[in-house]
Amino acid sequence: MKANIIFFYLLMIAVLSSCHSNSSKGDTISHFTYSDFKEERQLNNPQELTMDSLLYPASFYLMRDTLIVVNNQPECEYLMEIYSLNNLNKPLLQIAPKGSGPNDLVSCICFIHDNENAVFDVQSPATNTLYRTNIDTILKNKKFCAIDKFQYTSLAHTQSDICSLNEDSYVAYNIWYIDDSTYSNGIATPLQKYFKKATIEAPALLNNFVAPVNGARIFYNSQKNEIWSMDLHKDRIHIYDDSLRLVKEIIGPDNLEPKYTEVKSNAPFTFINFANDESYMAYIDYCLTENHIYLIYSGDSHYSPEDLQPVDVFKLKYDGTLECVYHLDRHLLTISVDSKEEYLYGTAKKSLNDYASFVRYKLQ
């Protein structure tokens, strides 16, 4: 009898533990489909905003009434040009001269995602340097001015944001991470915290080079002390607290599940790519307003840089509530939304080798 009581007691502990674990996991993960959005709209025939003096545009970003154009082509002299949205005939400024001098930039990627925040980041992948600057300071001094500058880890994924948390630390996506047991490099989590003043060391080469199939767009929500990570190749959104503990995972709407394969090469590591002649693209870019997050979503399992397909834009609240899905008639690489959320601006392309155009859709 005593043995039966002990067995029953242990069984109850196991059952209760199992129920607690499943409940916790269910609270963390949520799934959605297109039908879960409160509203669904089609956006066609945007207005194309042209600049006659512009020669080599790579991408466009809107900050208040100021347009920032990034030029990364070999022929360009300046990597950034500033225009007034009210007068696109002539640039207000040409800044960030291309070169290797002390005031030059070798390359330039802008991270401009908040139309009301004057501060934005400029990343130089060639030197692993991130500059934090202010559009008001630039317009006042008529030159590129960094209010913060640090060299980030060489482990950071080149297509993911460097997410600054405070004056001392930042978060980056580890280029060697993959959520796949077959090709795992032993990296437990995709996001890792680093210190800005830490010595940058050359990374050790691991077994599998997985950068073509991983990565995410990342931003820090200072109001809730949350870090959002939107996968580049899976329809997954991960929300972490500022200690990088996973708070919530949002899956959908297509349940993309890429398979991977090895690519033969003479390199000292194995290249990993998508299997079955597939190529996945999920979240491309994002924009933040006071109340909403706008996400460019592709959902393409046969993504081709030479034939870019129309995308969707998801409008979410900061608690993850699905407000609206906009079906666009073309492919956008960047997105900006004005403070009143009346217009959506973006960099449109038919092919990555194509000339970039600056377009505006009316949201309301």
Q: In what helix (H) or strand (E) does residue 80 lie, and over which residues does it extend?
A: strand 78-84
| Amino acid 273: pLDDT | 97
Task: Please answer whether residues 213 and 178 qualify as being in contact, where contact means their C-beta atoms are separated by less than 8 angstroms.
Answer: yes
Query: Which band of pLDDT confidence, cut at 50, 70 and 90, is reported for residue 266?
Result: confident
Among 21, 31, 100, 20, which Cα is nearest to 248's? Answer: 31
DSSP label of 125: T
Task: List CB contacts of 67: < 8 A, sequence separation 6 or more.
Answer: 60, 61, 82, 83, 84, 85, 88, 358
| Amino acid 116: pLDDT | 79
Query: Which band of pLDDT confidence, cut at 50, 70 and 90, is reported for residue 12?
Result: very low
Length in residues, the chain: 364
Task: List CB contacts of 352: < 8 A, sequence separation 6 or more.
Answer: 305, 306, 308
Is it the case that residue 344 has pLDDT exceeding 90? Answer: yes
The mean pLDDT of the chain is 88
DSSP label of 179: S
60 vs 266 pLDDT, higher one: 60
359 vs 10 pLDDT, higher one: 359
Report helix, strand or coil for 302: strand
Among 223, 217, 259, which Cα is nearest to 236's? Answer: 217
> What's the whole-number mean pLDDT along residues 320-328?
97
Query: Which band of pLDDT confidence, cut at 50, 70 and 90, is reported for residue 107?
Result: confident
Tokens of 236: 């997954």
Among 110, 215, 244, which Cα is nearest to 157's? Answer: 215
Buried b / exposed e over 214-249, threshold 16 CB at 10 Å, is bbbbbbbeeeeebbbbbbbbbbbbbbbebeeeeebe
Rounded-to-integer distance, Cα 32 and Cα 52, Å? 44
Rounded-to-integer distance, Cα 98 and Cα 58, Å? 14
Parallel/antiparallel/unpaired status of strands 246-251 and 260-263: unpaired
Rounded-to-integer distance, Cα 296 and Cα 251, Å? 15
Q: State the sign of the Cα–Cα–Cα–Cα dihedral 324, 326, 331, 335.
A: negative
Among 303, 284, 296, 325, which Cα is nearest to 43's? Answer: 325
Report helix, strand or coil for 225: coil
Rounded-to-integer distance, Cα 150 and Cα 71, Å? 22
Tokens of 280: 């996945």
